[in-house]
């Protein structure tokens, strides 16, 4: 565990230290997946909310929440560099191994919790989901995104002997999920996911190709990403 944690810390520290991108908070200028995430957050209301970002990276979505009036921002991450970048926006930050560590917040603390492209870096997600439900208020919205192991282009890639994008795109990806896997896991905690359609890439040889189609509820199991939310029931 320590070797894995140190490797992840080193990789993410290096990534977040050199990333100097400036992010766009105008929803109309976002990509389709980001627009879906932004609309979902705003649909529940951000203004005045107490929020937690699990794995904030460069702080992009913390900045979005701040831009839209969130009252109190907090962040947890395995990367010290990430937390350094985000601490000026946050009431509190915590360096954490999401597989084993308890979040340093009391029960029922948050109105909104987000975790964007984090779950795929976790081998055993039991602690991750347990802690999310614990620190969320009853009625809080949780929003999570991750690569879809069974996306359309991943299925096509298997037919020609190539690995799914979720596996080949990043060596630190260790958790791989379909929508049905997410539903099964959340059911263990008494929660029910709402899957949010985004887009479906059509070029299996180039995962970053701009050749894609919009998705819908009927087709979302083929999306490049799994984006889902749930309203916490306690």
Q: What is residue 4's predicted lDDT score, i.e. its pLDDT?
A: 54
Query: What are the residue boundaries of the structural domains of the chain, listed by start?
Result: 2-148+172-199+222-231
What was the pLDDT predicted at 5?
57
Q: Is the dihedral of CA 40, 35, 204, 220 positive or negative?
A: positive
pLDDT 10s digits, 190-233: 999 999 999 999 999 998 888 999 999 999 999 999 999 999 99
Residue 9 has pLDDT above 80, yes or no: no
Examine the pLDDT at 13 and tell me if it is beyond 80: no
CB contact at 8 A, 82 and 12: yes
In the numeric block, the tokens 């990403």 are attached to: 225
Put simply, whether the predicted model's pTM sits higher than 0.85 gets the answer yes
Average pLDDT over residues 30-42: 95
Longest dimension (CA), the chain: 50
Give residue 20's pLDDT.
62
**Predicted local confidence at residue 33, as pLDDT:** 95
pLDDT at 223: 98
Per-residue burial over 120-147, b if 16 or more Cβ lie within 10 Å, else e, is: bbbeebebbbebbbbbbbeebbbbbbbb
Cβ count within 10 A of residue 57: 22
- Res. 1: pLDDT tops 50: no
Q: What is the pLDDT of residue 14?
A: 72
> 143 vs 210, which has greater pLDDT?
143
- 2-148+172-199+222-231: CATH topology: Rossmann fold (3.40.50)
What is the rounded CA–CA span in Å between residue 153 and residue 75?
33
Residues 88-134 pLDDT 10s: 999 999 999 999 999 999 999 999 999 999 999 999 999 999 999 99
Distance CA 209, CA 157 (A): 14
Q: Distance (Å, rounded) from C-alpha 75 to C-alpha 115? A: 10
Give tens-digit pLDDT for 161-195: 999 999 999 999 999 999 999 999 999 999 999 99
Q: Find, among 139, 114, 137, 132, the residue nearest to 227 by Cα.
A: 114
The pLDDT mean for the chain works out to 93
Q: What is the pLDDT of residue 15?
A: 66
Q: Is residue 37 over pLDDT 70?
A: yes
Contact 124, 130 (CB under 8 A): no
């Amino acid at each position: 565990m320590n070797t894995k944690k140190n490797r992840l810390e080193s990789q993410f520290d290096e990534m977040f230290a050199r990333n100097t991108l400036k992010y766009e908070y105008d929803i109309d200028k976002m990509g389709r997946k980001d627009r879906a995430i932004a609309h979902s957050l705003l649909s529940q209301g951000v203004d005045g909310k107490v929020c937690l970002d699990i794995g904030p990276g460069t702080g992009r979505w913390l900045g979005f929440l701040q831009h839209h009036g969130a009252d109190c921002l907090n962040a947890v991450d395995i990367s010290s560099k990430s937390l350094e970048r985000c601490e000026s926006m946050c009431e509190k930050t915590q360096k954490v191994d999401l597989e084993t560590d308890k979040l340093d917040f009391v029960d029922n603390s948050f109105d909104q919790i987000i975790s964007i492209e984090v779950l795929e870096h976790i081998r055993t997600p039991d602690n991750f989901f347990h802690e999310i439900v614990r620190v969320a208020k009853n009625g809080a919205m949780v929003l999570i995104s991750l690569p879809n192991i069974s996306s359309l282009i991943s299925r096509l890639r298997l037919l020609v002997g190539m690995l799914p994008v979720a596996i080949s795109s990043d060596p630190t990806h260790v958790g791989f999920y379909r929508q049905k896997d997410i539903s099964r896991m959340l059911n263990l905690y008494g929660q029910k996911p709402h899957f949010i359609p985004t887009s479906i890439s059509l070029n299996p040889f180039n995962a970053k190709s701009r050749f894609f189609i919009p998705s819908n509820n009927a087709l979302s199991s083929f999306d490049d990403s799994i984006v889902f939310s749930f309203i916490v029931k306690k």
